[in-house]
């Protein structure tokens, strides 16, 4: 009988969906795994906020795409430290023009890690 072993990643999430475990010898804010939270709608502030955890420092990008897959804007492209981070999208494109309400996708990438999520922009 041939067996195929598949890699499995197990993540225990703490408050706010960020893994509470840390690397030995490092501060309590350094997550063990790359993680991007799901975006929840806030009726008080309709601007989407993307929260993510980086287990190691590195070049990190956050991009927004429309429902048709067209690039709308680059929210972030810089070196970030290992920690939890958040960035809020104001609902504008790369030319700082307001975009229409609707469904959008966000891509968070850092090193070999990448996560894609959906969000709704309400006006």
Q: What is the pLDDT of residue 26?
A: 52
Q: What is the pLDDT of residue 20?
A: 41
CA atoms within 13 A on the CB side of 73: 15
Task: Name all domains of the chain by residue range, CATH numbers in brackets.
Answer: 34-121 (2.60.40.4070)
Q: What is the pLDDT of residue 28?
A: 52
Instruction: Please state the pTM of the whole predicted model.
Output: 0.74
Query: From CA 79, how far away is CA 10, in angstroms rounded?
Result: 27
CA atoms within 13 A on the CB side of 14: 12
Q: What is the pLDDT of residue 79?
A: 97
| Residues in the chain with pLDDT values less than 70 | 1-29, 41
Q: What is the pLDDT of residue 34?
A: 95
Q: What is the pLDDT of residue 69?
A: 95
């Amino acid at each position: 009988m041939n067996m195929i072993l598949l890699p499995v990643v197990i993540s225990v999430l703490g408050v706010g969906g960020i893994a509470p475990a840390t690397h030995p010898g490092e501060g309590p804010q350094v997550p063990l795994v790359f993680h991007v939270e799901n975006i929840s709608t806030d009726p008080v502030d309709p601007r989407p906020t993307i929260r993510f955890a980086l287990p190691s420092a590195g070049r990190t990008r956050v991009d927004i795409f429309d429902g048709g897959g067209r690039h709308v804007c680059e929210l972030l492209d810089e070196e970030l430290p290992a920690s939890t981070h958040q960035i809020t999208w104001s609902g504008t494109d790369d030319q700082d023009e307001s975009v229409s309400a609707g469904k959008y996708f966000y891509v968070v990438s850092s090193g070999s890690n990448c996560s894609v999520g959906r969000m709704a922009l309400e006006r």
